Amino acid sequence: MVIVVHGGAGRVAPELEEAVLEGVAAARDRGWRVLAGGGSAVEAAVAAVAYLEDHPLFNAGTGSALNRQGFVEADAAVMDGATLGFGGVAGVRDVKNPIRLAREVLDAEPVLLAGEGASLFARERGIPAYDPAALVTERALERWREARRRKVRGSGTVGAVALDARGRLAAATSTGGLVDKPVGRVGDTPLVGAGTYAEAGLGAASATGEGEYLARALVAFRAVAGLAELGPEAAARRALERARTLGGEGGLILLATDGRFAAVHTSPQMSHAWRSPKGEGAALS
């Protein structure tokens, strides 16, 4: 069994480093508890990501980056490597935990639900409407104002990859997207193989960073496919280099079917945490 989580690419202010590391470690522990209790890789990855969605310091769920009009439009996805099942949601405005909605989509026929349709589906599945204003934190507002003043676009995203006791692999990712993004913009996170991918016999990957470039490079799929010939570190690096040649920075967590894993980034920093039978840790590298 293995779980690896990330708390997003991008620079972390020194005064927040400790809290960010505690956050990814706690998310890892949530996921590990599911695995240790006999739960599936999908449920473990979703539990880890849901924890980070509820943590206001991370760009997903509560605390998400705000779009150009100052509200949250969330993207999330989960993929089950055993079945190649995929559940994605995009541009969701009124759900507390978008990853739990993506988990519901995984069990339904569509691969990706967007906007109003995603909200309707949430209600059908018993996920209540959540006040969009409650997703907006003071910190996210500050970052949004700063982004608009300086015309810069911070990113960040959270994700998890897991290998369960039965050898099944899963990947889950959730994000508010880029700060000050156009209304309706969808990033790499909920697109199959772009920000989220898992395939039995190969591996599972969750990406973070500049979605337009990560999507065009299909980084998550590229990294997982690369495991057929390379180790996790080299496969992740090669996938991210492809995005960099297009002009974008980011990070990846990549878990191979044999339990080896890597956390690699071309962005200035990325927080991550891991646990396997060999040990556990958390790092901001």
Per-residue x/- mask for ligand GLY, residues 114 to 153, rule CB under 6 A? ----------------------------------------
Does 174 bind ligand GLY (CB under 6 A)? Our answer is no
Residue 18 host element (H or E): helix 17-36
Distance between CA atoms of residues 167 and 200, nearest Å: 9
Q: How far is CA 44 from CA 47, 66, 102, 215, 220, in A?
A: 5, 28, 14, 25, 19
Does 187 bind ligand GLY (CB under 6 A)? Our answer is yes
Q: For residues 112 and 190, is the Cβ–Cβ distance under 8 A?
A: yes
* Active-site annotation holds for 157: yes
| Least distance (Å) between residue 5 CB and ligand GLY | 15
Please identify, among the stretches 86-94, 183-191, 226-234, 259-267, the one whose residues bind ligand GLY according to the rule CB under 6 A: 183-191
| Least distance (Å) between residue 157 CB and ligand GLY | 4
- Selected binder of ligand GLY within 31, 81, 209, 251 (CB under 6 A): 209
How many chain residues are in contact with ligand GLY, going by CB under 6 A? 14
Query: For residue 208, which amino acid is it?
Result: T
Instruction: State whether the Cα torsion 214-64-89-35 is positive or negative.
Output: positive
Please identify, among the stretches 78-86, 97-105, 133-141, 202-210, the one whose residues bind ligand GLY according to the rule CB under 6 A: 202-210
- Selected binder of ligand GLY within 206, 208, 257, 271 (CB under 6 A): 208
Indicate the angle between helix axes 41-54 and 17-36, nearest 10 degrees.
150
The side-by-side arrangement of strands in the sheet containing 203-209 is: 196-199, 203-209, 250-256, 261-265
| Least distance (Å) between residue 76 CB and ligand GLY | 11
| Catalytic-role residue among 157, 175, 257, 266 | 157
Does 188 bind ligand GLY (CB under 6 A)? Our answer is yes
- Selected binder of ligand GLY within 159, 177, 203, 226 (CB under 6 A): 177
Distance between CA atoms of residues 57 and 158, nearest Å: 11
Q: For residues 158 and 5, is the Cβ–Cβ distance under 8 A?
A: yes
Active site residues: 157
Positions that interact with ligand GLY (CB under 6 A): 155, 157, 175, 177-178, 187-189, 195, 208-211, 214
